[in-house]
Structure formats: structure tokens, C-alpha cells
């Protein structure tokens, strides 16, 4: 099945179609992870993006029921050099090719992903169109240019839960509310390792509804889109800050927390997508290898005086984490839960839970 990838700049990459026939548009990004394609495809943060894997051979271990990060594939399309024809893993229930068809995803293989990645590094992330079956270069370029892009786009409504639910119930009485902007299951599973009640709420849940759940801590999850476009969510976080509860922001949550505290964000050239990104913890000078997936970043120069930088990328020196100097509020740009990727930053969950317990104990003493 003939297929192509057309970029807004007019470049065409021909290949063979995988998944179903059709047309899909989105922002073309590259991911440098060597494995973990299942977790990446089902990460809601990839909404409206066409994922290019830099690793040449994708699909060897198939698809299993345990590693999904959400209920479906949220990426708009897939671009690979070579899709595995055979699957070898004891947990696999289907191949990646079968999964793409099941999920109604359009993809393309046999693409020069090395050349495409170099192009994206030179020009930044580009709007693109994958077309398989009957292909038309001119129409595909038109469709790529018609895509609105991610700037000024709030996508949280497309990925958040429809209703509040309890992910984990414990006897400790410690309540952590997770604001779902496209939360990965891995984040919830990491929190569930600690004895606490995990309550997941929709992205635009009102402050009064959140406080009615009697939270002892709030986690702002990852998610897709432009953080600056999430105006209602930012306003709600501003109000929640007055409650002086421990708050932990991850990825989009990190950016939204920064905006609520008075900082600003910007669109990166090609973002950080992969599982091999070195980040320094400035508090102890230790370097962590981290999992990353973001196309926007917080402008470090815009941080107000009451915030302190805690983490910085060693790839490009971009801001990766901050904390409030007085309040139990902190955030991290990368993904401490990995899923996929290294577990070097997993200790951030322990920091958060410790802050929640400490704050709760103080509140009980005052009561």
C-alpha cells in the first residue's frame, strides 16, 4: 500500500502504508526512545501529533494489555523506518500492525526517518499529513498547511476524564486529587504505591468541587496542547494556590502551575521527546536520565522572585523544575513515572507524598 508524508514546507517522504488507509494531519515530532512505542502511542500528550521514531525497527515486542497509558492511541499517526513483521514477547496479545488497524490509525513505514529527523532539527516541528492508499502530493501538502497547529490550542477537553473517579482507595485517609489534563496511567500507578486515596477529576472541575473532596495534596497532570491557552484551568489553579496545599505539577501541569504563579511559557523549536534526556537536580548536583515529552517550556527568566529553579536540562539548559520558596509547591517538566524510560526521577513522587503527609500532620495539630 503506497503512502507518503507531506510537510508544510513541501517536502515529500514516500513509503508503505501501515494501519488503515486514509489521511491524517498533525504536528510532526521525533521521539528518540529505543522502545516503549506502546506507552508513547497511548500517551494523551501526543494528541494531534504525528510521531516519528528515530530508532529504525519498531514493533518487536508487540502490544500487551498492561502497558497502555490510556484507553486508546491519542497520536494522530505513526512514522517509522521499519515495522516489525514478527512479534516475540510472552505478554503480547497482538502485533503493532494489528493494533494500528484496531485503533483506526494511519501510518507510514520505509521512510528515511534519519533524514526526516535532521530536517525537523533544522526547521523545528512542522505540520504534516500522512496519506495512504490513493496518494496526491499536492493535496497532502495543502492538508498539512491547513492544520492549525498547537499554538493557542487548549486540548485538555479532548483527553480528560468525563467524570470524577477513584483510582486508589486506602485506609490512611490521605486524599490526593489529580487534575486530569491527559494523565498517564503510569503517574497514577506511581502514586498508588503510597497509602493514599487517589481521586481523579476532570480538567475543568471547579475549585469548590475540588475542595469539597477534602484534598491534602493536588497533582497537576501531563497533557497536550498550548498551556497558555488553558485560561480557565490557570485561573482555577490560582485560586487553589490560596489554599496553601501541597501541589505537584508534571509536564503540562508544570507549565500551568508556572503560569498561575506569574511566569510565562513559549513554543520550543522541536521539543523534547524521548527517554534519554539528562537533567541536573541543582539541589544536589546529581544528573538524572529522564523521560521527556513536551513541545512547550517555561521561560526561566520570567519566574517570579518567590520561585527557585530546581532542575535544568543538560541538552539545552531549559528549565526543568522549580519550587516555591515558602509553600509546599513544586513541579517537574519531564516524566518522573517514565512509562517508558528510566526511573531516575521517580523519587519526586516520594517528595510530593512526604510534603502531603507533613502538611496534613501540621493541619491536624493546629486543629
Residues 190, 196, 230, 251: which is the catalytic one? 251
For residue 324, indicate whether it is catalytic.
no
Residues 216, 277, 324, 335: which is the catalytic one? 335
Q: Where are the alpha helices (DSSP H) in the chain?
A: 37-41, 96-102, 113-123, 137-146, 156-159, 185-191, 207-212, 231-241, 252-260, 347-366
Q: Please report where in the chains the cell 517555561 appears, as a residue.
A: 298
For residue 231, indicate whether it is catalytic.
no
Residues 248, 215 contacting (CB under 8 angstroms): no
Residues 127, 25 contacting (CB under 8 angstroms): yes
Residues 178, 201 contacting (CB under 8 angstroms): yes
Residues 112, 142 contacting (CB under 8 angstroms): no
For residue 39, indicate whether it is catalytic.
no
Q: Please report where in the chains the cell 526526516 appears, as a residue.
A: 116
Q: Provide the grid cell at 101.
A: 488497524
Angle subtended at Cα 90 by Cα 88 and Cα 91, rounded to the nearest 5 degrees: 110
Q: Please report where in the chains the cell 503527609 appears, as a residue.
A: 357
The residues carrying an active-site annotation are 251, 335, 337
Amino acid at each position: 500500500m503506497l503512502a507518503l508524508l507531506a510537510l508544510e514546507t513541501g517536502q515529500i517522504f514516500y513509503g508503505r502504508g501501515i494501519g488503515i488507509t486514509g489521511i491524517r494531519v498533525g504536528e510532526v515530532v521525533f521521539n528518540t526512545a529505543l522502545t516503549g512505542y506502546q506507552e508513547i502511542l497511548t500517551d494523551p500528550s501526543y494528541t494531534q501529533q504525528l510521531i516519528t521514531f528515530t530508532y529504525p525497527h519498531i514493533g518487536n515486542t508487540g502490544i500487551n494489555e498492561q502497558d497502555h497509558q490510556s484507553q486508546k492511541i491519542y497520536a494522530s499517526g505513526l512514522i517509522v523506518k521499519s515495522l516489525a513483521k514478527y512479534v516475540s514477547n510472552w505478554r503480547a496479545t497482538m502485533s503493532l500492525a494489528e493494533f494500528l488497524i484496531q485503533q483506526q490509525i494511519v501510518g507510514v513505514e520505509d521512510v528515511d526517518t534519519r533524514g526526516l529527523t535532521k530536517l525537523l532539527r533544522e526547521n523545528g516541528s512542522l505540520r504534516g499529513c500522512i496519506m495512504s492508499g490513493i496518494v496526491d502530493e499536492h493535496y497532502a501538502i495543502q492538508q498539512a498547511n491547513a492544520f492549525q497547529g498547537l499554538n493557542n490550542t487548549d486540548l485538555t477537553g479532548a483527553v480528560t476524564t468525563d467524570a470524577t473517579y477513584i483510582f486508589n482507595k486506602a485506609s490512611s485517609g490521605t486524599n490526593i486529587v489529580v487534575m486530569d489534563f491527559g494523565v498517564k496511567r503510569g503517574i497514577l500507578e506511581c502514586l498508588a504505591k503510597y497509602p493514599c486515596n487517589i481521586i481523579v477529576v476532570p480538567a475543568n472541575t471547579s475549585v469548590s468541587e475540588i475542595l469539597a473532596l477534602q484534598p491534602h495534596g493536588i497533582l497537576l497532570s501531563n497533557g497536550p496542547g498550548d498551556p497558555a491557552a488553558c485560561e480557565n484551568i490557570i485561573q482555577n489553579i490560582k485560586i487553589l494556590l490560596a489554599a496553601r496545599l501541597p501541589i505537584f505539577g508534571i509536564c503540562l501541569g508544570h507549565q500551568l502551575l508556572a503560569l498561575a504563579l506569574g511566569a510565562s511559557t513559549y513554543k520550543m523549536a522541536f521539543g523534547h521527546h524521548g527517554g534519554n534526556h539528562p537533567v541536573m537536580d541543582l539541589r544536589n548536583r546529581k544528573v538524572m536520565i529522564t523521560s521527556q515529552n513536551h513541545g512547550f517550556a517555561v521561560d526561566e527568566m520570567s519566574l517570579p522572585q518567590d520561585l527557585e529553579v530546581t532542575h535544568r536540562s543538560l541538552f539545552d539548559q531549559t528549565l526543568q523544575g522549580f519550587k516555591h520558596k515558602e509553600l509546599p509547591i513544586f513541579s517537574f517538566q519531564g516524566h518522573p513515572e517514565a512509562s517508558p524510560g528510566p526511573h531516575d526521577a521517580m523519587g519526586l513522587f516520594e517528595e510530593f507524598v512526604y510534603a502531603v503527609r507533613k502538611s496534613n500532620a501540621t493541619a491536624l495539630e493546629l486543629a
